[in-house]
């Protein structure tokens, strides 16, 4: 059942790496891609593994998926704008929270650079020449082949 639902999402999106987001369905699927799941037989959209094990409702959902009455549909531009306005109203009223990324644990700590930095206090000419060579070495491709002309022999 999940594979069938996911396959339908992949097919309508045209993206083979698509994933179904049940907890953030409105934000991740409807708002981002303009795709809606129509015909879901339960009141709330949750992962099918979280549904009750009562057979009649599960059979109804399975039948809806098999018969095609439960399917993903692309929203028209006008429908999408209405859904977006309703979603923004829910955010403004505090009914829905936007997902915020977790703050890094090392915020404010300086990180080491990948590339070596030049010494600012170097007055020696030899050091200046070495710095120029280091800069040139950074711009040279890692694997540079030298091919000699074989016609010259």
Q: Which residue has the higher pLDDT, 145 or 70?
A: 70
**Alpha-carbon distance 97 to 77, whole Å?**
24
pLDDT of residue 76: 93
Q: Dump pLDDT digits (tens) for 40-99.
A: 988 888 888 888 888 898 899 888 888 888 889 999 999 999 999 999 998 889 888 777
> Would you say 6 and 53 are in contact if contact means Cβ atoms under 8 Å apart?
no
Mean residue pLDDT of the chain comes to 78
């Amino acid at each position: 059942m999940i594979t069938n639902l996911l396959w339908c999402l992949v097919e309508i999106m045209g993206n083979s790496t698509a994933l179904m987001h049940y907890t953030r369905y409105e934000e991740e699927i409807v708002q981002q891609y303009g795709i809606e799941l129509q015909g879901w037989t339960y009141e709330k959209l949750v992962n099918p593994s979280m549904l009750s094990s009562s057979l009649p409702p599960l059979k109804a959902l399975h039948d809806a998926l098999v018969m095609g009455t439960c399917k993903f549909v692309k929203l028209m531009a006008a429908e999408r704008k209405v859904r977006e306005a309703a979603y923004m109203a829910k955010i403004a009223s505090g009914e829905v929270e936007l997902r915020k990324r977790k703050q890094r644990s090392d915020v404010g700590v300086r990180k080491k650079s990948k590339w070596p930095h030049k010494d600012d206090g170097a007055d020696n000419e030899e050091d200046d020449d070495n710095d120029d060579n280091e800069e040139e070495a950074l711009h040279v491709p890692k694997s540079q082949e030298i091919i000699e002309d074989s016609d010259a022999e």
